Structure 1
Amino acid sequence: MRTLIGRPAMMASGLLHLWRSRSDTARALISGSTSGLILSAANRVIALIATALLARSLGMDQFGIYSLVIASALAIRTFVELGLPTLLVREVARADPGTASTDQSPVIRDAVLLAMTSSLSVAALIGLVLNVPLFFDRGSERVALLTITILLPLGTLSRILAAALIGKRELVRAQVVEFVIAPVVMLGGATILSLQFAQPTAENALAFQIAANASAALCAAVWLKRGSPARARSERRSRSSMLALGRAGLPFLIANIALLLNAQIDTVVVGIIGSSTDVALYRIGTQSAIVSTFALQVIQNVASPYIAKFHLDGDSARVRQIFRAIQAITFVFNLLIVILFALVGDEILALLFGRAYAVAQPVLVIISVGYLVNAACGPIGMLLSMTGHEKALSQITWLTAILNIGTAMLLGLNFGVIGVSVATALSVAAYHLLMRLYARRFFEL
């Protein structure tokens, strides 16, 4: 355990040194992490309220259609993004904005053009399939599903622009785009539907989701434009540069596909072996457990451009210092969350979702333990992504995805929902432990 958590005393020492140093990096990390935690917490609350309002106002059938479209759009977006958001953070962070030779604007434009070409092409194909009765004959859902053709490019654009803001170290603005703008617009839409100012249908809810995505993309674009140097209109980027960017993003895309499998296969297995009630309980348990990961996600967003820059400069001491500080913070946070869920998790679930969902506490605790191992390993996935090890990262991701499928089926058939929960927790733990073992060959952690 001493090796797993990376020498707690050293982590605490690194954190204290980071705080006392008062360097620009320390101030940025502390400020960005604090604002990110606040905005992320606000995001969770806003999303929870909006979901509750939509579920009550739309009714089960319409809310189910809405959820299907949103889930489908998110899944497809993983493919059309081509792994560019993570790559863009790294490449923009590596560019020195103070010199013309490493201007950040061209790589951002290439990423936007490539991602939009991909998303619009797939959106057009989806629209074609949905309008051919031979391929799709569920007319009652066609209009709602057609909104994917708008949600897909808008969501992709928003993600790309937010990643560019992170790479440019515009951390608070990126967090506002991701955590505030779209959720607040969607909350407004959910409120309008719940007050019957508009007909509560899946189509209207999706229209508000389109408005939310468009608002986030517009704000991100305006902020990027203000922070970019003026360039001649005649400058053009070659097609080869965009293709090179696409090839560089391929390992991230492969890893993201495997992550998508890891995120969805457990719910599918529960649906195969159990009832709709089992699926609902499992979904509530797993989604509630995700709260334990938000500290790591926020701080990773803040730290990732600094990791990329310090690694490029050969400053391994600063990379190690940031890594250990993040590891210490997130491990303590996750440990407290696991203890809280183990003691009063059933009461929390009953308070948030109703007494019937209190029985999902075992799922909540099991999945949270998996995330605790994740935190103990530190932000290892971010470290590998930002330092050029994305190919190994994608291989590890695919390995654990395949293991997760087999383990979930085996344990699920024998132990039901609890078995699938254990398989998911083991998959999360194995994923981060394997990355940690790989990283030890290149970094002193």
Structure 2
Amino acid sequence: MSHELKQNMISGGMWAAGGRLVAIVAAFVLNLVLARSLTPGDYGVYFVVMSTMIILATVATLGMDRIVVRFVAAYKGVGDWTGVRAVVKRCLMTVVAATALLCLIFYFLTPWFFTHVVKMPAAIGLSGLMVLLLFVSTVQRQLAETFRGLNDIRGATLFGGFRNNGILISLITCGTLLILWASGAMTLAAAFATTVCSSLLVVIVAAWTLQRRLRTAVQPLPAAPSSGNWTTGRVLHEGWPLWLASLLGVLRLQVNGWFAAGFDSSENVALFAIADRFVLLMTAPLTIVNMLLPPVVAELYARGENKRMERIVQAVGGLASLPCIVILLLIVLIGRPVLGTLFGVHYEAAYPILVILSVGQIANIVTGSWQVVLPMTGLRRQTLHVTMWAGAVQILACTIGGYVAGVVGVALGSCVGSLTGNVLGLAAARRHLGIWTFISLRRAVLTDAVTLLSKRIAGFMPMRARDA
């Protein structure tokens, strides 16, 4: 591996981890502001609408966000900028057309959906803002992933949306909502309008930056291979398997909001929302550290060093699990008063839901980084199978649980789905790679993790110093 490629991987990993950290902090502040300034019913509506937007935005991309990363990177690697432009243009046009059509359908189905499916008629009056948010957020994601395909992780992180840890959208939205809260002007409509305007601003800047970069790019290799005929049919054919896997993954994470709203009141949905968002803090250290693992896993697998890969994955997981375990203990011991102090007395009732969801996250922590290992070793089909089975179990469990016990039952169903998915993922890594990905807290293994991460950060610092 060349020195330049290693530096790009390290730099990209640091930008991605930084973006994730900013997104986590901003999301926590955002939910704190909304819970404090909106009624529980309105906050429940906000949670369900945002979950719906994330699901629909994934539907609208049709897998183009994955295709643009794969083929733009390939064409750029051989110097074929004609191919790069062709892929970018066709994928973006496909996303814009699909999103426009989905927005039109969703606008007319909004009254039925929020009356009969999730039972939140208060959201119907926000249909115009929801359609605008769906359109701009989907285009924003596509533009951000285009930068990722160009190996510009900094651009992808700066211009990304909430789902892909965008720094600008997080800071702009969070800062504006803090001002609205301080001035007493916060309403549910104002929260959505702020998000729409922030996303639109990022889209404008990202589109201008991308256009400028593609226009000024030169063709360094006269004998670059042909870019082929990138028709809409071709990109759809290439993208649908990746789209299906991405959609199933997003549904597993976001569909709980639909179940909660379908089986309980808006006020209780707000309790589920706070618990769901708060428990993300528990796995934040593991999520951030995992941002640095993909290139390491891919490189070691290519060398055939599976045992070393196993040791590093266990080490990194063990190191990241330590703060996760501390956070879990704090949730169990003082979770109820913390919820009341941060979000208001009403949200103390979210404590049982928080504990249940935390149990589900224990499996995510203990089983380690199989979510990184499987796709980075070419086991994409196995990843899809794990996601499908876990999703099916989660949907069944949430349906039964929601019918019997409302939002508490939905939390139990989510916990069952998490346990199922992580056990299946751990087993898949063992069966196909012969390794265990579960964490290790042995001193020697943790020392390996510290050494690895120190080298990654140390390798990044000189490059940044030279750039300065």
What TM-score, normalized by structure 2, do the two folds share?
0.72
Per the alignment, residue 346 of structure 1 pairs with: 336
Q: Structure 1 residues 350-359 or 186-195, which shifts more?
A: 186-195
In 1, Cα distance between the equivalents of 2:339 and 2:213?
Answer: 40
Shift of 1:218: 5.0
Shift of 1:434: 0.5
Q: Structure 1 residues 106-115 or 202-211, which shifts more?
A: 106-115
Per the alignment, residue 311 of structure 1 pairs with: 301
Shift of 1:409: 2.3
Task: Tell me, yes or no, if structure 1 residue 156 matches structure 2 residue 148.
Answer: no
Task: Tell me, yes or no, if structure 1 residue 145 matches structure 2 residue 135.
Answer: no
Task: Tell me, yes or no, if structure 1 residue 205 matches structure 2 residue 194.
Answer: yes
CA contact (8 A) 1:271 1:279 kept: yes
Task: Tell me, yes or no, if structure 1 residue 184 matches structure 2 residue 178.
Answer: no
Per the alignment, residue 269 of structure 2 pairs with: 279
Letter matched to residue 264 of structure 2: G
What is the CA deviation profile of residues 365-421 of structure 1, one whole-angstrom value per residue up to 9, with x for unaligned ones?
A: 221221121122222122222222222211221111111121222233344433322
Per the alignment, residue 42 of structure 1 pairs with: 22
Q: Structure 1 residues 349-358 or 269-278, which shifts more?
A: 269-278
Taking a change above 3 Å as real, the CA distance of residues 288 and 227 of structure 1, as seen in their structure-2 partners, is: farther
Taking a change above 3 Å as real, the CA distance of residues 136 and 340 of structure 1, as seen in their structure-2 partners, is: closer
Per the alignment, residue 214 of structure 1 pairs with: 203
Per the alignment, residue 99 of structure 2 pairs with: 123
Q: Structure 1 residues 284-293 or 255-264, which shifts more?
A: 255-264
Aligned residue pairs total 416
Q: Give the counterpart of 1:298 among 274, 280, 288.
A: 288
In 1, Cα distance between the equivalents of 2:351 and 2:184?
Answer: 37
In 2, Cα distance between the equivalents of 1:418 and 1:64?
Answer: 15
Task: Tell me, yes or no, if structure 1 residue 77 matches structure 2 residue 60.
Answer: no
Q: Give the counterpart of 1:258 among 226, 248, 266.
A: 248
Q: Structure 1 residues 132-141 or 378-387, which shifts more?
A: 132-141
Q: Structure 1 residues 325-334 or 430-439, which shifts more?
A: 325-334
In 1, Cα distance between the equivalents of 2:124 and 2:367?
Answer: 48
Q: Residues 215-234 of structure 1 correspond to what in structure 2 (within 5 A)?
A: 217-218=206-207, 221=210, 230=219
Q: Structure 1 residues 74-83 or 215-224, which shifts more?
A: 215-224
Taking a change above 3 Å as real, the CA distance of residues 237 and 152 of structure 1, as seen in their structure-2 partners, is: farther
CA contact (8 A) 2:60 2:95 kept: yes
Q: Give the counterpart of 2:370 among 349, 372, 380.
A: 380
Taking a change above 3 Å as real, the CA distance of residues 209 and 324 of structure 1, as seen in their structure-2 partners, is: same
Shift of 1:432: 1.5
CA contact (8 A) 1:89 1:163 kept: yes
Taking a change above 3 Å as real, the CA distance of residues 25 and 374 of structure 1, as seen in their structure-2 partners, is: farther
Shift of 1:246: 4.7
In 2, Cα distance between the equivalents of 1:105 and 1:311?
Answer: 30
Taking a change above 3 Å as real, the CA distance of residues 422 and 127 of structure 1, as seen in their structure-2 partners, is: closer
Shift of 1:427: 0.8
Per the alignment, residue 15 of structure 1 pairs with: none
What is the CA deviation profile of residues 68-105 of structure 1, one whole-angstrom value per residue up to 9, with x for unaligned ones?
A: 65443321121233345556667778x697xx63x586
Q: Structure 1 residues 23-32 or 230-239, which shifts more?
A: 23-32
Taking a change above 3 Å as real, the CA distance of residues 109 and 290 of structure 1, as seen in their structure-2 partners, is: farther
In 2, Cα distance between the equivalents of 1:209 and 1:247?
Answer: 33
CA contact (8 A) 2:110 2:127 kept: no
CA contact (8 A) 1:251 1:394 kept: no
Per the alignment, residue 362 of structure 1 pairs with: 352
Shift of 1:222: 8.2
Shift of 1:194: 4.4
Letter matched to residue 44 of structure 1: I
CA contact (8 A) 1:108 1:164 kept: no
In 2, Cα distance between the equivalents of 1:372 and 1:110?
Answer: 45
Per the alignment, residue 7 of structure 1 pairs with: none
For structure 2, which runs of at least 5 residues remain unmatched after alignment?
114-122, 160-164, 436-468
Q: Structure 1 residues 177-186 or 420-429, which shifts more?
A: 177-186
Per the alignment, residue 259 of structure 2 pairs with: 269
Taking a change above 3 Å as real, the CA distance of residues 335 and 424 of structure 1, as seen in their structure-2 partners, is: same
Taking a change above 3 Å as real, the CA distance of residues 320 and 176 of structure 1, as seen in their structure-2 partners, is: farther
What is the CA deviation profile of residues 334-360 of structure 1, one whole-angstrom value per residue up to 9, with x for unaligned ones?
A: 222211211111122122211221221
Taking a change above 3 Å as real, the CA distance of residues 96 and 318 of structure 1, as seen in their structure-2 partners, is: farther
Q: Structure 1 residues 121-130 or 223-232, which shifts more?
A: 223-232
Taking a change above 3 Å as real, the CA distance of residues 266 and 68 of structure 1, as seen in their structure-2 partners, is: closer
What TM-score, normalized by structure 1, do the two folds share?
0.75
Taking a change above 3 Å as real, the CA distance of residues 147 and 197 of structure 1, as seen in their structure-2 partners, is: farther
What is the CA deviation profile of residues 278-335 of structure 1, one whole-angstrom value per residue up to 9, with x for unaligned ones?
A: 2111121111111223233323333223433443454545643542333223333322
CA contact (8 A) 1:50 1:187 kept: yes
Q: Give the counterpart of 2:399 among 380, 387, 409.
A: 409
Taking a change above 3 Å as real, the CA distance of residues 209 and 276 of structure 1, as seen in their structure-2 partners, is: same
What is the SS of the residue equivalent to 2:432? coil
Per the alignment, residue 8 of structure 1 pairs with: none
For structure 1, which runs of at least 5 residues remain unmatched after alignment?
1-22
CA contact (8 A) 2:317 2:369 kept: yes
CA contact (8 A) 2:32 2:342 kept: no
In 2, Cα distance between the equivalents of 1:227 and 1:300?
Answer: 34
Per the alignment, residue 424 of structure 1 pairs with: 414
Q: Percent identity?
A: 21
Taking a change above 3 Å as real, the CA distance of residues 51 and 422 of structure 1, as seen in their structure-2 partners, is: closer
Letter matched to residue 181 of structure 1: L
CA contact (8 A) 1:370 1:429 kept: yes
Q: CA RMSD in A?
A: 4.3
